[in-house]
Structure 1
Amino acid sequence: MAVKTNFSSNNLKDILCNYNLGELVFSNPITKGTVQTNFFIKTTTRKLVFRYYENRTKESVLFEINLINYLQEKKYPCPTPLCNNYGHFIGIYDDKPYVLFSFIEGEHIENPTNNQKKQLIRKVAELHNITKGFKSDLSQYRLNYNVEQCEKLAKESAEKINTFNSQEKLKWYIYQLNQLALPSSLPKGICHSDFHFSNVLFHNDEFKALIDFDDANYTFLTFDLVCMMEPFKSTFDWDTWDKFSLEDDVFDFSKAKKVVLEYSQYRPLNEFEKIHLFDLMKFGILIDCIWYFERGKVNDFFEKRKIDYLDKLGRENFYQELFG
């Protein structure tokens, strides 16, 4: 259910009048995705993707477009935003921004092969090489992943839920944030932050493009790396965690090690990044906790259990499992 706003053929024809892209032939809603509304469009001259931003400001979208244009200049494989007849990439419909992108031929692979996984890891490392230190005055309009932002969002979630459990969970959350060691020397840049299979395109077994930079933000570069690592066993998940005891071994570092080794071929980690990968792993879990703040009781819930297991393992053992 990705289409939250319906667009008739006449609506899309009116929008296309602002572009030199031919006449509308047909359009179909794109059902993959969960936040923004997307339509596939075929005109008399080309194929397009119409993206309607349901919950983003124009400034936030402009950050995304400027980033994508920068990546295009560096020959990075991603969609091309299209300019309208007035020289603008962003249009406004019913007070919300939209962008037309070139359509990229490819497939979304739900269960990628090892070769496809390696290609994605390489492209993520290349993304980080390109965007390391990327600066934009529009970054302030994005949801940048940092400790201050997380505390703010957690407080908002606790206040919105407004229960004893949410207030107690907030205390636990702030305590955990304060335990993180994330020195300012850790490299920062733009992370994509959402490698769901629907955001990666392959064609004939070859990586074609990384799409949907809706969650891209300025943060620690290793944030994307820990998102791909996932050192927890596949059987340990949000709907099975309570079947495990604190004495159980829930780690399987084989996948995580492969991800780190592959990534490091294209962007070697410095020693600071290796040491604090433990903290970034916990940081990623705490970000997940924000999106599911209402889930679980404060004394024991999925994200807390993951943090507890990591603390039990310890920073040194975590490091040795990956780099020893």
Structure 2
Amino acid sequence: MSRIFSKVELTINQIEDIVTPLNLSIKEGGKISDIGRVSSNYLLETDQGKTCLRFYPKDYELAQIKREIDALRFFASQGLPVPLLIEKNASPLPSFFEGYPYFIYWCLPGTSLEQEHLSKKWAYEAGKLLSSLLQVSHLYASPDAAVNDYQLIEDAFREKRDVLKKALSKSVFSEMEEHLQHKKYEDVLRNSPKGLVHGDYFFENVLVEGDQMIGVIDFGDVYYGHPLTDCIIGAMEFSVLSDESVEMEYLKVFLTPLKRHLDAIEPEMFQHFLLLNCIRFLSYTIEDSEIHSSNSYLKRPEFKSEVRHFSLQSS
């Protein structure tokens, strides 16, 4: 998938100008990471440890950057394994460099989990890590109203409607439109407890080292909404293999640590939100050039049919 925004290109001298006031000295690094479609991330080895300098485009929504920063502060204050912000005195974040908003944090150890390395063990560990986030996410005092997931996903779908109509079969496209139109469980979401939603809880956003899952990264899509969203996204992402086949055992073990958060969720509702989030990420990632190629999410609507007989109680 290509980037949505151009990379923010900096010289090593510019980077040194940014980190020196933080009493950091660069030992090596300064090259931009290829990870990300929106932010530009510079990984730096300093005299005090590995850091990430995270830049956003000048015209990016400032409120969303502040949400990401607030989420990192909040989860860190609750003892959760997330990147720790590097802050100077009482200076507000984000900071700005030549008009570009940015912040810097200490990197967690480990590397991103790759899809080809998914397993029952990692699916279970990912479910356990998410459960620890959900246990505290409702404690966050949000200044924002809760996001309506139906509206959020419908807006993304409408923006890519013409591309999606060409890429999908007529029956699948019609099913998606009907799914969004009916908003079958909107009242359930409206009346359910809210909390911080990571919004992109998938394998590349968890870090592993040896046989340990270290933590979760990239809160760039975080919002205040229904935590069920992260359960659904994780269930899909940690059980779909690189060939887009669904491994039901992975799905079951991922959900095992999350049962307490899914008590009120019936199988039909679970399946409904699986398809809703297939629509979410297909709309986010589809490009004109992929109409005749292999965006992995083009096959995800089939995920719903594969879990038709799945019961949360059996996990």
CA distance 1:6–1:171, change in 2 (3 Å): same
Distance 1:40-1:269 versus aligned 2 partners, 3 A rule: same
Query: 4+ runs of 1 displaced by more than 6 Å?
Result: 162-166, 168-171, 301-305
For the pair 1:82 / 2:86, whether they are aligned, the reply is yes
2:149 to 125, 142, 146: 146
Q: Name the SS of the counterpart of 1:71 in structure 2.
A: helix
Are 2:38 and 1:39 equivalent residues in the alignment? no
- Give yes or no for the alignment of 1:109 onto 2:113: yes
Among 217, 228, 231, which residue is 1:225 paired with?
Answer: 231
The aligned amino acid for 1:323 is Q
Superposition TM-score, scaled by structure 2 size: 0.78
Which among 131, 134, 137 is matched to residue 128 of structure 1? 134
Residues 113 and 44 (structure 1), Cα distance of their counterparts in 2 relative to 1, 3 Å cut: same
1:52 and 2:55 correspond:
yes
Asked whether the 8 Å contact 1:107–1:202 carries over to 2, the reply is yes
Go from structure 1 to structure 2 and tell me whether the alpha carbon gap of 1:323 and 1:4 turns closer, same or farther (over 3 Å shift).
same
2:73 equivalent in structure 1: 69
Change (3 A) 1:32 1:283: same
Question: How far apart are the structure 2 equivalents of 1:223 and 1:23?
Answer: 40
The verdict on how the C-alpha distance between 1:293 and 1:223 changes in structure 2, with shifts beyond 3 A counting, is farther
Whether the 8 Å contact between 1:52 and 1:96 is mirrored in structure 2 is yes
- Residue of structure 2 aligned with 1:282, choices 275, 278, 284: 275
Q: What SS is found at the alignment partner of 1:194?
A: coil
Q: CA deviation at 1:209?
A: 1.7
Mapped pair 1:323 → 2:313: yes
Deviations along 1:83-107, whole A, 9 cap, x unmatched?
1355223111232210110122223
Distance, in Å, in 2 between the alignment partners of 1:118 and 1:211 is: 18
- Point out which structure has higher relative CO (alpha carbons under 8 A, 6+ apart): 2
* Structure 1 residues not aligned, in runs of 5+: 238-249
Distance 1:10 1:228, change over 3 A: same
Query: Quick check: 1:189–1:218 contact (8 Å CA) kept in 2?
Result: yes
Match for residue 201 of structure 1? 207
CA contact (8 A) 1:25 1:43 kept: yes
Q: Which is higher, the Rg of structure 1 or of structure 2?
A: 1
Identity of aligned residues (%): 16
Q: Which residue of 1 aligns with 2:11?
A: 8
- Which amino acid is 2:15 matched to? L
Q: 3-state SS of the aligned residue for 2:65?
A: helix
Distance 2:83 2:307 in 1: 41
Shift of residue 67, structure 1, vs aligned partner: 1.2
SS in 2 for 1:271: coil
Aligned residue runs from structure 1 range 153-232, under 5 A: 153-158=156-161, 173-182=176-185, 183=188, 184-230=190-236
1:257 to 236, 252, 260: 252
Aligned residues of 2:129 and 2:215 also touching (Cα < 8 A): no
Q: 1:210 to 1:252 in 2, by over 3 A?
A: closer
Q: Distance in 2 between matches of 1:308 and 1:70?
A: 37
1:46-89 superposed Cα distances (whole Å, 9 cap, x missing partner): 43211112373222111111111111111001011111355223
Contact kept, 8 Å, 1:145 with 1:217, in 2: the verdict is no
Q: How many residues align?
A: 297
Give the residue type in structure 1 aligned to 2:129.
K
Partners of 2:126 and 2:165 in 1: how far apart? 42
Query: What SS does structure 2 have at the residue aligned with 1:276?
Result: helix
State the Cα distance separating 1:251 from its structure 2 match.
6.2
Alpha carbons 1:186, 1:273 under 8 Å: kept: no
Answer yes or no: is the 8 Å Cα contact 1:63–1:139 preserved in 2. Answer: no
Matched, 1:93 2:86: no
One-letter code of the match for 1:128?
L
The Cα RMSD (Å) is 3.6
Helix, strand or coil at the partner of 2:140:
coil
SS in 2 for 1:230: helix
